[in-house]
Amino acid sequence: MELSSAALIDGEEVRPIDHLLLQGDAMRPALDGRSGLQNYAELEESLGRLAAWLAGFGLEKGARVASWIAKGPVAALMPLAAPRAGLVHVPVNPLLKHAQVAHILADSGTQLLIATASRVDTLADGDVPDECRLLREDDAACAMSGGDPLPPSNAGPHDLAAILYTSGSTGRPKGVMLSHANLWLGAAAVARYLKLGADDRTLCVLPFSFDYGQNQLFSTWYAGGCVYPLDYLTARDVMKSVDRRDITTLAGVPPLWVQLTELDWQPEVAGKLKRLTNSGGALTRPLVVKLRSLFPKADLYPMYGLTEAFRSTYLPPALVESHPDSMGSAIPHAEILVVRQDGSLTDDEETGELVHCGPLVAQGYWRDPERTSERFRSAPPASRYGGLAVWSGDSVRRDAQGLLYFVGRDDAMIKSSGNRISPTEIEEAAVAVPGVAEAVALGIKDDRLGQAVLLLIRSDDVEVEAVVEVRLKTELPNFMQPRTIIRLVDFPRTPNGKIDRVALAKEYDR
């Protein structure tokens, strides 16, 4: 099939993201799993049929369609099918509960929600906007098995393709707007530096609602390889799948790597892995040593990224042993600058803010110009790209070789098990409990999770901790649950009367 709508961006030929499957050899495997194996030609046919089904609802161009489903063919193809139908995909993390889902549906203005029946049953009255139609995942799956497929789209590179919701340091999740070019260039960049090929098989264990998780699919398909989506219960399930499916590529977050290194890997199974990629938190030196020892044939790629600009840096495997604490340097199509408060470039070993420039920068936050203006600002004068850049809020330093090192995070985000958690969201849920006057959620060091959640509550009720624990288990997903809840009679205050979070963090994060 002749491809159209190509654009040259940063030296790369960029096409609509729904053209991605046309990159692969028609007869080579593209998607494997419990639903069976499909080659590229068959998967492209399924994609066209799913897109035609979505288009049949007659929504206007750019309307949002959300998916709240487990991993499988529908979840894997929705990021391509919605844009092919002229719609914008809003993937919802399956771990979220009704309050978070209700916010995403309302904030995005979703008009179609494709979900499993069991998830729909958890929604309360008022969680689904009146204008949002509920659809069953089974119906979407049936649509992929018959009917005339919709041909590849002619979308422009800067047309909106997806909105991915990510937690902020304050308030509820915000939707990051990603264009066709953002997604295509991200796939091309990662496929290139990971050296992915048509013989590679990627085990997709991360949620497709994360940019890192979604890119498991896109980068593998860009390279013509095969993906195997897996919703796993234990780390042992991952090990078994590596063995049974001859997996070559595995992306994970630090807590998963900790669990995997605790298993008894047979050398012939560990030897099947050719590359391990990490993001969502830094790898510790001891963990790097364990991974290199356990998987001697696998290249290890530490990476750093943020949803607002997808991926920023990676450390080449050859440098992992000599520079295990480094974030590496810019990935293809990214320009990473370290700047002072005035926007000038820092000197070597001088701490500054990481600023991401270039075509991977997203289009801002959906319907949120105030927060967009805070994070997306004009690039520093030294940028070769100019335009808008993402000012990360993360403090880093650059050594004489150009390698970057993470110093600290300016905001109050909690990063636990690869998830970015808003303290405010936890605090609001706790304060809703009668008897709780104030609440502070902190991230405290944890060897397995990176950070665990500590919840401090101000209350005179000596039994309120148990009530709060029960309420949060009902209202918040598992990864947001506090490991510890501590009741205090009062909180320390700053001179202007605000809660002194710095003092609390110093007191409890020891």
**CATH code assigned at 452:** 3.30.300.30
Q: How far is CA 125 from the centre of its chain?
A: 29
Task: Report pLDDT digits (tens) over 272-317.
Answer: 999 999 998 778 888 899 999 999 999 999 999 999 999 999 999 9
With respect to residue 8, please indicate whether it lies within any of the assigned structural domains.
Answer: no
With respect to residue 485, please indicate whether it lies within any of the assigned structural domains.
Answer: yes
- Count of alpha carbons within 13 Å of 290, Cβ hemisphere only? 15
With respect to residue 461, please indicate whether it lies within any of the assigned structural domains.
Answer: yes
* From 56-65, 251-260, 339-348, 469-478, the region with the lowest mean pLDDT: 251-260
Q: Could you write out the DSSP letters of every residue in 161-228?
A: EEEEEE--SSSS-EEEEEEHHHHHHHHHHHHHHTT--TT-EEEE-S-TTSHHHHHHHHHHHHTT-EEE
Specify the number of domains making up the chain.
1
Q: How far is CA 200 from the centre of its chain?
A: 22
With respect to residue 398, please indicate whether it lies within any of the assigned structural domains.
Answer: no
Q: What pTM did the predictor assign?
A: 0.88
With respect to residue 335, please indicate whether it lies within any of the assigned structural domains.
Answer: no
Whole-number Å distance between alpha carbons of 222 and 197: 9
Task: Look at strands 352-357 and 376-378 and give their pairing.
Answer: unpaired
What is the extent of the structural domain holding 472? 414-508
With respect to residue 36, please indicate whether it lies within any of the assigned structural domains.
Answer: no
Task: Report pLDDT digits (tens) over 151-178.
Answer: 999 999 999 999 999 865 456 789 999 9
* In the chain, % of residues over pLDDT 90: 78
With respect to residue 199, please indicate whether it lies within any of the assigned structural domains.
Answer: no
With respect to residue 328, please indicate whether it lies within any of the assigned structural domains.
Answer: no
